[in-house]
Structure 1
């Protein structure tokens, strides 16, 4: 097992760097390099995450049925290599849109499928430390995002978008080589599925519980996305600060997330992931309440430990929590959670439009309400499990 963990760690760093090089600058790329107008840019920014959710959903269903996860990782990495390499030179809007909803969407499955692969590897060693391992790997992805965007900005300023997408393509190529050279196929389709059950009847939570959990994570992720989008404008228009001050606040949060993510992962040895996630959502409620009533930049900065704790708990433990609930379906479980972030990005767009119209403080008020709803949904999920007479067949459950 240990021989696979280092290559896995390198995979998460490479995937994180590739995503961080192009993700933050997509709108700028469409505006400056493709010269797409507001309507076409908006359509592109909606189509990209929608396609990602659909493709991840399809791959997630397939990935747990047969021992093909390594092949899926290679296919996703090669799709990312082709997609970013072509984007480095193509400037036709419709061709780029076609690449985005196909190759780029397939490349997006690298994130959930890597976590599913990691779960199977960790589960074969010490299952009690699986949550800590997943949280550590998630931290590496965050570390890549800390350094990726600033480095991409330097490359972009010096050489343009062709180089940034070209660098991302190199990262995908490295990922493919790592998987091909050092990551063998895991033993079974689902690694830790009980051997005394048929393949189509692996234990899963009741459908109502899954719905409540996914809905809860989705609204919390929506709130987090909305707050990040609103922070620069909130600081500059409502609190009298500068864009630099907003950047420092966001950087402070990102710096705090990393040790907190590792800390929450270590706490899973003593507390349940569910309890820690609920604590994290409570921190989110507290943060958005403070941010919505903040009268100065100092107050907003002082609240960043709450914000970082919320992100660390929800993002760092959400994957392992769902994997624990669906031990026979790591691919589907991981995809369900990672898709909540993408869905949150889509849902945050109209909420941000309201904040643009009525003031950016409203963004935090809406985020506060969303986190409160998410807390209620996640607490209610336990009752749905208790009320259910027995688990339903996995083959009949939606992803």
Structure 2
């Protein structure tokens, strides 16, 4: 009887882990259905200039930072992340419904983006809950998080081609309603399957400050990640319009490129998770930044379809390590603050979008879409410098 009870207890964490994998995949699908086509949606459906497209991404990032930072601080101190994730999924579905039926630029920018910011916060909060669950059940947090990140990349293999197929074949309304349905399904799974881990005052009160010696490292890491995400943001904003309007390539190729990169990111993330203990997170992040330099330098000269697809190997190295290891690096530097650390990493993406939206729109309007990649190259070179200035920091037994 005792052995039977033990066997059941061992199966339950695996079932819960499977739920995390499904939720990670669905939150990734929800984002992958919207982001790749957003610049085309704004330019063709809402009919705005390139600078207004950039402004939309910038405004979206600013509102997203404010919303996510508020929710992160609240979730680390009190409340249940499970309920918060469920609420974010429902508000994300409302945002998609608004984008499906509304074409007013300012209503989309202020109301739509506010709702979308809650929807996008479901993902970092899910990763924070997964980290707490891994620590609570004794799982290896680095590999578990890497597998979850791989699920998001898998979603980005499938999502962009589907997004372009739906938008171009059936219209943007159908595409956004599909994203709304994904959010609703995800919310139901969160409510039924993810564990509840309420906060206790004694547990949170003692761990709200990161060690002083880690603050400089965290600042440099924040700068490096922000610069890397800025370059990636420029690429995502610029690439669909660059290919269609300057290279005269098929619109669906943008989805193929994003899907190829995401597919290659999956083995990259898993290998990075395995290599983190041996080589350290700082070394892997340096390698990612260098891969980014070669990727954006290549975009300046490569224009052929198959060459662009082959170049995605470098993009996968760049984003795969950044997305998988960068978040874990922040969590190591901020022990006991899983929500704040994960959201801080997520906000490097949003700050990157602020800079990317401003620069990509302005550069494209003043010069051309090709010139945007020169600015992206400068960003990743800056990220390399930040990672080289970052000292090797070891926190609570974690390998940096």
What interval of TM-score do these two structures reach, taking the shorter chain for normalisation?
Answer: 0.7 to 0.9
Q: Report the number of matched residues.
A: 383
**1:25 aligns to what?**
37
**1:373 aligns to what?**
382
CA deviation after TM superposition for structure 1 residue 238, in Å: 8.0
Q: Is the 8 A contact 1:190 1:328 kept in 2?
A: no
Q: 1:288 aligns with which of 268, 289, 296?
A: 296
2:209 is the alignment partner of 1:198? no
CA distance in 2, matches of 1:247, 1:26: 12
**2:331 aligns to what?**
323
CA distance in 2, matches of 1:152, 1:239: 21
CA distance in 2, matches of 1:116, 1:187: 13
Query: Relative to structure 1, is the Cα distance of residues 315 and 236 closer, same or farther in structure 2, using a 3 angstrom cutoff?
Result: same
State the Cα deviation string for residues 298-326 of structure 1 (Å, max 9, x = none): 66555432222111111121111111221
Q: Is the 8 A contact 2:56 2:357 kept in 1?
A: no
**2:275 aligns to what?**
267
Q: TM-score, normalised by structure 1?
A: 0.82
CA deviation after TM superposition for structure 1 residue 7, in Å: 1.0
Query: Relative to structure 1, is the Cα distance of residues 119 and 189 closer, same or farther in structure 2, using a 3 angstrom cutoff?
Result: farther
Q: Is the 8 A contact 1:278 1:375 kept in 2?
A: yes
CA deviation after TM superposition for structure 1 residue 281, in Å: 1.2
CA deviation after TM superposition for structure 1 residue 109, in Å: 0.8
State the Cα deviation string for residues 31-57 of structure 1 (Å, max 9, x = none): 555556777655444322211111111
Any idea what SS the aligned residue of 1:382 has? coil
CA distance in 1, matches of 2:368, 2:170: 37
Query: Relative to structure 1, is the Cα distance of residues 280 and 32 closer, same or farther in structure 2, using a 3 angstrom cutoff?
Result: closer
Unaligned 5+ runs, structure 1 = 391-399
CA deviation after TM superposition for structure 1 residue 286, in Å: 2.8
Q: Is the 8 A contact 2:36 2:236 kept in 1?
A: no
**1:107 aligns to what?**
119
**2:159 aligns to what?**
148
Query: Relative to structure 1, is the Cα distance of residues 306 and 145 closer, same or farther in structure 2, using a 3 angstrom cutoff?
Result: closer
Any idea what SS the aligned residue of 1:184 has? coil
Q: Is the 8 A contact 2:156 2:259 kept in 1?
A: no
State the Cα deviation string for residues 148-206 of structure 1 (Å, max 9, x = none): 23223333345433332222222111122112111121254699x7x9x7254564654
Any idea what SS the aligned residue of 1:109 has? helix
Q: 1:363 aligns with which of 362, 372, 376?
A: 372
What is the 5 A alignment of 1:94-173?
Answer: 94-126=106-138, 129-173=140-184
Q: 1:313 aligns with which of 307, 310, 321?
A: 321
Q: Which stretch has the larger CA shift, 229-238 or 172-181?
A: 229-238
**1:396 aligns to what?**
none
**1:175 aligns to what?**
186
Q: Is the 8 A contact 1:355 1:363 kept in 2?
A: yes
Q: Is the 8 A contact 1:34 1:91 kept in 2?
A: yes
CA deviation after TM superposition for structure 1 residue 80, in Å: 1.4
CA distance in 1, matches of 2:149, 2:251: 28
Unaligned 5+ runs, structure 2 = 1-12, 396-400
CA deviation after TM superposition for structure 1 residue 330, in Å: 0.7
Query: Relative to structure 1, is the Cα distance of residues 291 and 92 closer, same or farther in structure 2, using a 3 angstrom cutoff?
Result: closer
Q: Is the 8 A contact 2:85 2:187 kept in 1?
A: yes
**1:397 aligns to what?**
none
Q: TM-score, normalised by structure 2?
A: 0.82
